[in-house]
């Protein structure tokens, strides 16, 4: 499903070049549940952004479902992203101006899902996450953990083929975290490909494969 | 999706009420001003354009060469030009109108008399050539009845009240006329202001009129011709000139054609009384209207892009969850559309509300043609222009953000602080430069008008009113009785209650229009020179009455028989004509009388201040001096007017008494321009107000954005004053740049504008400095308040909320 060859990412500030990712070679098959770990600043978020097509590599090749993403323009990338990828951000990133309900609904709108279908899908997700009561609140009125829940709900509502989750349980109470991980495990069983970033060894156990990043290199890559 | 865009647009606008309100009011006020200007400009440009044949209609104009240096331009021709027109190929219709010189026409219905000033004798085909709207009846058969007349609703109401006027009889002198049809009142966009139209034939068969008017030397008919498609007007003019030269045996006359659409703008003619506009004023106002719209759009852009920084996060998330650039663009553009749409509706409402007031200000009735597609086209156009001008850039900017960058909190394209983006800085500078330039213009125009108002004209005009005796009345009385009438009238008036002084002349010093050339003779005048001079026929009281000052010699005296032939010159005449010195005592011939120069009067402004004082010859020969001037005793105006009316009724019992105060006549002379300058100041004020709104919004925003920076600075020990200065300084620098940019174009345009006045103020540095100061004060007031507020805020609070 995903094929990364010699991917590089760096930032230039003046004469200095800061390398964030170097020579990344990865192959991720459909149905895998990958955990990415590594110390802070090792490039995990950057890698997720690249895979999620929110960012472009400075070098190397990226094939998604055998399509050469590195050659695509923004419009085509958005299109792929829109239809196949769900993204959970480390910093939630909800839209402050929209209610919980509307935040969850947004990806469906962009995908052009019909109104009646949208209603049913949002209702189902709200129910599953147990946040029906909060649906008319704005993000500012939620706790950090609740906001993360909404972020996850938003990512999975479109039943993406690939779910990218950047520390989805970082701000959650352990029981809530467990609930999310169980949900991921279930989605994985249903066939969804998942890549998660985490610092938590327990969470890593839900995955089928572990990749460790260090200073922009893949240091370890093993199945569990 | 569309509904979603709309909903989120409304919600966003509501959430940021301050910006929305600033944006909305700026846009709405700008659009209102622009629409009002557009209405006015359109009505000016379409003057006389509503006639079906307008495009093919031309007026014959006459250039009469007086001497080598002077040509008189007339808008009229001899009556019999129509015979010549018939010989020119390509010319299909000739229609003529004539208003006898001087007086108002007197209509009688039973025992009652009515006077009408706006009337004309028109050829039989007039109503086939020009379009009129009829309230009752129509013009069919008009040409066949010399005793038919048409009047407007307004005049009909005056004469007949609420009864139908159609078919009623009216008398002009002894002749009986029938009301053939009732016209709608003249539309605002027509040069023809006649309330009463009578067939030329009715005029010609009176007395010796036909004989007089058949003379090739009488240029008193305004002649319009219709050209067949493709006919060259220049060629027609040349052909007519040739034909007229043959008929009149005179080679000093050139005829040419002026388009009907130019009737309203042609100010080159001596004798045409059509309501005049000015193309320059039209251009200036169109420009100001565009500037105002531009200001409103700039406001919108600078406020929206400033806010884009806060919106960037939203844009980034939306992209990350699958929004494409196009979808985001559509969303942000629909916000603009919602805002601009509401602004348009508000503007239409404001226009509707301000129309009566604007009509009065502009001296013309405007209506919003709600049913006209043009209005909606215009409104739609303005709306589309605003959305495109003001909405596209911010939308492109927002839609173009790289999601990862903005989500990482990097402004991306936005740079650091809201006020420091080069783009937004140039918007502020542009806005303020325009405002300062408009301010400079307002100041200069205001100074010029108060200069005109206060200028020592060289004569007195307080408490003085005048009434006129028309040439028909003189003609009725005959020469001898006329002179007797003038003498007794003056005597009666000078003894009547409430009256401090009387004099009799052919013109008031406010505006002496009568000119003459050809009979001036004095020693030293080159043999073939025929200088043109202004002429004044005045009695011995005139100089004292108007407090004219003598430079040398004396004014005319009562009982001095020689003064019948003597003349008084003004200073300009004495110098300009090249009279030998000593001026007083020189022999001087005028109108065939030989006398001497008995005095030189100090120059006084008897022409509008656009024109230089011209050479003036005053003479005292008893003649038909049509105007009486009466000085009322202070506080006794009513008595004086009553006395004058009584004296008038003794001689002309059937004619209504009409009078006017001469300072009103004076004010009327500058009325149009004063109005234009008033409107200009108004619109300039609006533009400046809009700029102020924008700056206020921007300042609020920047202060808000820099709360964190301000908080940290305060924790580190910065003073409130220091922080306020820091914030305000950014804007002040921009305003100063704007002032520097505004001065050269404003200087150039005002220099040009002033050149139109023969008497004018000098441009002085303080006018520019004052404009700069006002702009700075406005900027300081709007920015300063926001900066102070930000500087005073509790630092802990602002840091925590970050
Ligand atoms: N726009 C940028 N300019 C310069 N350096 C950047 C930029 N964005 C990220 N970096 C650098 O790239 C490196 C990797 O960042 P990244 O966010 O991928 O780390 P991470 O592994 O997700 O860390 P954490 O576990 O703390 O979330 C960091 O050292 C960061 O400083
Ligand atoms: Mg990270």
Give B481's contacts (C-beta < 8 A, 6+ positions apart): none
Ligand 1 midpoint to CA A195 (Å): 18
Pair A30, A190: CB distance under 8 Å? no
On the question of pLDDT at B366 being above 90, the answer is no
To the nearest whole Å, the CA of A126 is away from the closest chain B CA by: 18
Beta bridge partners of B616: B534
What pLDDT is stored for residue B757 in this prediction?
Answer: 83
Mutate to test the pocket of ligand 1, among A41, A58, A89, A212 (most ligand atoms within 8 A of CB): A41
- Using the predicted structure, report yes or no on whether residue B409 has a pLDDT greater than 70: no
Alpha-carbon distance B735 to B733, whole Å? 5
At residue B354, does pLDDT exceed 50? yes
- The binding-site residues of ligand 1, defined as CB within 6 angstroms of any ligand atom, are A 11, 18, 20, 38, 40-46, 90; B 408, 410
pLDDT at B413: 39
Res. A195 pLDDT band, cuts 50 70 90: very high
Q: Using CB atoms, which residue from B321, B326, B404 is nearest to A107?
A: B321
Q: State how far the Cα of B154 lies from the Cα of B157, in Å rounded to an integer.
A: 5
Name which residue leads in pLDDT, B121 or B515. Answer: B121
CB contact under 8 A, A54 and B320: yes
This model of the complex carries an ipTM of: 0.80
Of B566, B554, B538, B546, nearest to B622 by C-alpha is: B538
Measured between CB atoms, which of A55, A78, A97 is closest to B12?
A97
| Interface contact B317-A93, CB threshold 8 A | yes
Q: What is the pLDDT of residues A92-118, one digit of tens each?
A: 788 877 889 988 998 888 888 888 999
Residues 6+ apart with CB under 8 A from B690: B26, B29, B30, B292, B295, B296, B299
Q: Which residues contact B284 (CB under 8 A, 6 or more apart)?
A: B680
What is the average pLDDT value for chain B, to the nearest integer? Answer: 84
pLDDT above 80: residue B644: yes
How much is the average pLDDT of B767-794? 81
B14-18, B91-95, B597-601 — which is least confidently predicted?
B14-18
Contacts of B8 in chain A (CB under 8 A): 97-98
Residue B50 has pLDDT above 50, yes or no: yes
pLDDT of residue B801: 43
B762: CB partners within 8 A, 6+ apart? none
The pLDDT of residue B408 is 65
Name the pTM for this structure.
0.74
Q: A97 vs B323: CB contact, 8 Å cut-off?
A: no
CB B191 within 8 A of CB B264: yes
Smallest CA-to-CA distance from B158 within B185, B132, B193 is with: B185
CA separation, residue B455 to residues A149, B19, B445, B755, B762 (Å): 81, 48, 15, 17, 14
Q: How far is it, in rounded angstroms, from Cα B316 to Cα B600?
A: 86
Give the residue whose CA is nearest to atom 5 of ligand 1.
A11
Q: Which residues of A touch B10 (CB under 8 A)?
A: none
pLDDT at A176: 78
Q: Which residues contact B29 (CB under 8 A, 6 or more apart)?
A: B296, B347, B350, B686, B689, B690
Backbone angles phi and psi of B255, in degrees to 5: -105, 145
Does residue B329 contact residue B397 with C-beta atoms inside 8 Å?
no
Instruction: Tell whether the model's pLDDT for residue B417 goes beyond 60.
Output: no
DSSP 8-state secondary structure symbol assigned to residue B221: B
Question: Of all protein residues, whose CA lies closest to atom 7 belonging to ligand 1?
Answer: A11
Residues in chain B: 802
Tell me the per-residue pLDDT of B105-158, one tens digit each, with 9 for 90 and over: 888 888 888 888 889 999 999 998 999 999 988 888 887 888 899 999 999 999
Is residue A121 predicted with pLDDT exceeding 90?
yes
Q: Which two tokens stand for residue B568?
A: 């008084």
Torsions phi, psi for B730 (to 5 deg): -55, -45
pLDDT of the residue at B802: 35
B contacts of A79 (beta carbons < 8 Å)? 324
Residues 6+ apart with CB under 8 A from A171: A144, A145, A147, A148
Of B288-292, B300-304, B458-462, B690-694, which gets the smallest average pLDDT? Answer: B300-304
Partners of A168 in the β-ladder? none
Tell me the range of B414-423, B485-494, B786-795 where mean pLDDT is highest.
B485-494
pLDDT beyond 70 at B708 = no
B734's CB contacts (< 8 A; 6+ apart) are B425, B428, B429, B432
Interface of A with B in 141-160 (CB under 8 A): 154-155, 158
Predicted confidence band of residue B798 (pLDDT cuts 50, 70, 90):
low
* B556-575 exposure pattern, b = at least 16 Cβ within 10 A, e = fewer: beeeeeebebbbbbbbbbbe
CA atoms within 13 A on the CB side of B105: 24
Q: Which residue of B has its CA nearest to A55?
A: B404
pLDDT at B715: 65
Contact (Cβ atoms closer than 8 angstroms) between residue B568 and residue B621: no
Tokens read off for A180? 């999310």
The yes-or-no verdict on residue B581 having pLDDT over 70 is: yes
Question: Tell me, what DSSP letter sits at residue B698?
Answer: H
Residue of B nearest to A78 (CA): B324
Q: What confidence category does residue A133 fall into, taking pLDDT thresholds of 50, 70 and 90?
A: very high
Partner residue opposite B407 with nearest CB, options A75, A93, A96:
A93
**What's the confidence (pLDDT) of residue B103?**
63
pLDDT at B415 over 70: no
* Dihedral sign from CA coordinates of B794, B799, B801, B802: positive
Q: H-helix or E-strand containing B3?
A: helix B2-15
**What SS3 state is found at B757?**
coil
Question: Nearest to residue B475, comparing CAs of B5, B103, B66?
Answer: B103
Strands (E), B627-727: 627-632, 660-661
pLDDT higher than threshold 60 for residue B274 = yes
> Can you give the pLDDT at residue B419?
44
Which has the closest alpha carbon to B299: B740, B700, B624? Answer: B700
Contact call for B318 and A106, based on CB within 8 A: yes
Contact assessment for residue B707 and residue B790, using Cβ atoms and an 8 Å cutoff = yes
Q: Is the pLDDT of residue B566 over 50?
A: yes
Confidence of residue B418 (pLDDT cuts 50, 70, 90): very low
Q: What is the pLDDT of residues B160-204, one digit of tens each?
A: 988 888 889 999 877 889 999 999 988 888 889 899 999 999 888
Instruction: Note the pLDDT of residue B412.
Output: 41
**Buried b vs exposed e over B299-308: b needs ≥16 C-beta within 10 Å?**
bbbbbbbbbb
pLDDT-derived band at B406 (thresholds 50, 70, 90) equals: low
β-pairing, A16-28 with A67-68? unpaired
Which tops the pLDDT comparison, A121 or B432? A121
End-to-end alpha carbon distance in chain A: 20
Residue A2, preceding bond cis, omega within 30 degrees? no
With CA atoms as reference, the chain A residue closest to B10 would be: A97
* Structural domains of chain A in order of their starting residue, each with its CATH number: 2-93+160-223 (3.40.50.300)
Question: Between B281 and B199, where is the model more confident?
Answer: B199
**Which among B489, B793, B728, B779 is positioned nearest to B628, based on CA atoms?**
B489
């Amino acid at each position: 499903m995903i094929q990364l060859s010699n991917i590089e990412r760096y930032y230039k500030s003046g004469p200095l070049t800061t390398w964030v990712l170097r020579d990344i070679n990865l192959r991720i098959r459909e149905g895998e549940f990958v955990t990415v770990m590594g110390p802070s600043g090792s490039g995990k978020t950057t890698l997720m952004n690249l895979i999620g097509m929110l960012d472009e590599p400075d070098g190397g090749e990226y094939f998604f479902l055998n399509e050469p993403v590195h050659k695509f323009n923004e419009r085509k990338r958005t299109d792929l992203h829109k239809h196949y990828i769900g993204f959970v951000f480390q910093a939630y990133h909800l839209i402050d101006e929209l209610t919980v309900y509307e935040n969850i609904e947004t990806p469906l709108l962009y995908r052009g899902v019909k109104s009646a279908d949208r209603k049913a899908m949002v209702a189902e997700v709200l129910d599953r996450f147990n946040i029906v009561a909060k649906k008319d609140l704005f993000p500012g009125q939620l706790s950090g953990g609740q906001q993360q829940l909404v972020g996850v709900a938003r990512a999975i509502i479109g039943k993406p083929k690939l779910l990218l989750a950047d520390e989805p349980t970082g701000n959650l109470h352990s029981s809530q975290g467990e609930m999310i991980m169980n949900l991921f495990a279930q989605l994985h069983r249903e066939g969804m490909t998942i890549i998660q970033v985490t610092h938590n060894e327990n969470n890593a156990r839900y995955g089928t494969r572990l990749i460790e990043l260090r200073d922009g290199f893949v240091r370890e890559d093993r199945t569990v | 999706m569309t509904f979603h865009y709309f909903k989120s647009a409304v919600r966003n606008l509501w959430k940021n009420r301050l910006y929305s309100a600033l944006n909305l009011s700026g846009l709405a006020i700008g659009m209102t001003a622009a629409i009002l200007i557009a209405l006015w400009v359109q009505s000016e440009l379409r003057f006389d354009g509503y006639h079906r044949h307008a495009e093919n209609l031309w007026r014959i104009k006459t250039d009469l060469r007086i001497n080598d240096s002077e040509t008189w331009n007339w808008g009229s021709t001899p009556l019999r030009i129509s015979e010549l027109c018939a010989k020119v190929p390509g010319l299909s219709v000739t229609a003529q109108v004539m208003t006898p010189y001087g007086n108002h026409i007197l209509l009688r219905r039973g025992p009652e008399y009515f006077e009408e000033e706006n009337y004309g004798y028109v050829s039989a085909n007039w109503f086939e050539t020009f379009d009129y709207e009829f309230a009752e009846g129509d013009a069919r058969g008009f040409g066949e009845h010399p005793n038919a007349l048409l009047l407007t609703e307004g005049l009909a109401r005056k004469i007949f009240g609420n009864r139908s006027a159609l078919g009623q009889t009216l008398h002009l002198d002894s002749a009986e006329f029938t009301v053939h049809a009732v016209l709608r009142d003249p539309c605002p966009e027509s040069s023809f202001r006649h309330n009463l139209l009578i067939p030329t034939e009715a005029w010609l068969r009176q007395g010796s009129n036909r004989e007089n008017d058949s003379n090739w030397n009488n240029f008193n008919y305004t002649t319009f011709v219709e050209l067949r498609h493709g006919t060259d007007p220049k060629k027609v003019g040349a052909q007519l000139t040739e034909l007229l030269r043959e008929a009149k045996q005179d080679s000093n006359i050139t005829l040419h054609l002026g388009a009907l659409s130019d009737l309203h703008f042609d100010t080159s003619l001596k004798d045409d009384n059509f309501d005049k506009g000015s193309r320059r004023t039209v251009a200036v106002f169109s420009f100001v209207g565009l500037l105002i719209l531009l200001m409103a759009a700039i406001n919108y852009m600078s406020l929206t892009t400033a806010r884009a920084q806060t919106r960037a996060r939203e844009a980034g998330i939306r992209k990350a969850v699958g929004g494409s650039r196009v979808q985001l663009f559509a969303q942000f553009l629909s916000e603009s559309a919602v805002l601009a749409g509401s602004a348009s509706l508000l503007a239409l409402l404001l226009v509707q509300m301000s129309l009566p007031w604007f009509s009065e200000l502009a001296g013309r009735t405007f209506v919003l043609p709600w049913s006209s597609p043009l209005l909606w086209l215009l409104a739609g156009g303005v709306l589309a222009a605003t959305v495109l001008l003001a909405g596209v850039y911010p939308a492109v900017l927002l839609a173009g953000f790289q999601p990862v960058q903005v989500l990482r909190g990097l402004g991306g394209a936005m740079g650091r602080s809201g006020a420091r983006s080069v783009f937004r800085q140039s918007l502020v500078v542009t806005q303020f430069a325009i405002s300062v330039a408009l301010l400079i213009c307002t100041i200069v125009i205001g100074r010029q008008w108060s200069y005109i108002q206060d200028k020592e004209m060289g004569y007195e005009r307080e408490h003085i009113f005048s009434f006129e005796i028309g040439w028909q009345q003189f003609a009725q009385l005959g020469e001898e009785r006329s002179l007797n009438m003038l003498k007794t009238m003056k005597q009666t008036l000078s003894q009547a209650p409430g009256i401090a002084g009387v004099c009799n002349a052919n013109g008031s010093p406010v505006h002496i229009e009568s000119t003459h050339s050809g009979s001036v003779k004095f020693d030293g005048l080159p043999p073939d020179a025929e200088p043109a001079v202004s002429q004044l026929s005045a009695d011995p009281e005139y100089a004292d009455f108007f407090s004219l000052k003598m430079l040398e010699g004396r004014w005319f005296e009562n009982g001095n028989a020689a003064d019948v032939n003597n003349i008084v010159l003004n200073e300009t005449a004495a110098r300009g004509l090249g009279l030998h010195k000593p001026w007083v005592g020189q022999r001087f011939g005028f109108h065939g009388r030989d006398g001497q120069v008995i005095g030189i009067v100090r120059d006084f402004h008897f022409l509008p201040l656009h024109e230089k004082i011209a050479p003036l010859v005053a003479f005292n020969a008893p003649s038909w001096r049509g105007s009486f001037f009466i000085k009322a005793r202070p506080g006794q105006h009513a008595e004086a007017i009553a006395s004058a009316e009584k004296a008038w009724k003794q001689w002309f019992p059937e004619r209504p008494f009409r009078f006017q105060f001469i300072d009103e006549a004076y004010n009327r002379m500058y009325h149009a321009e004063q109005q234009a300058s008033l409107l200009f100041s108004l619109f300039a004020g609006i533009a400046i107000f809009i700029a102020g709104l924008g700056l206020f919004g921007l300042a609020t925003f920047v202060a808000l954005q820099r709360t964190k920076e301000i908080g940290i600075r305060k924790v580190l020990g910065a003073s409130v004053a220091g922080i306020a200065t820091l914030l305000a300084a950014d804007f002040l620098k921009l305003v100063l740049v704007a002032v520097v940019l505004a001065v050269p174009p404003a200087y150039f345009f005002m220099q040009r504008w002033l050149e139109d006045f023969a008497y004018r103020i000098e441009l002085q540095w303080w006018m520019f400095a004052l404009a700069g100061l006002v702009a700075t004060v406005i900027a300081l007031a709007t920015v300063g308040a926001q900066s102070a507020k930000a500087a005073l805020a509790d630092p802990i609070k602002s840091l925590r909320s970050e």
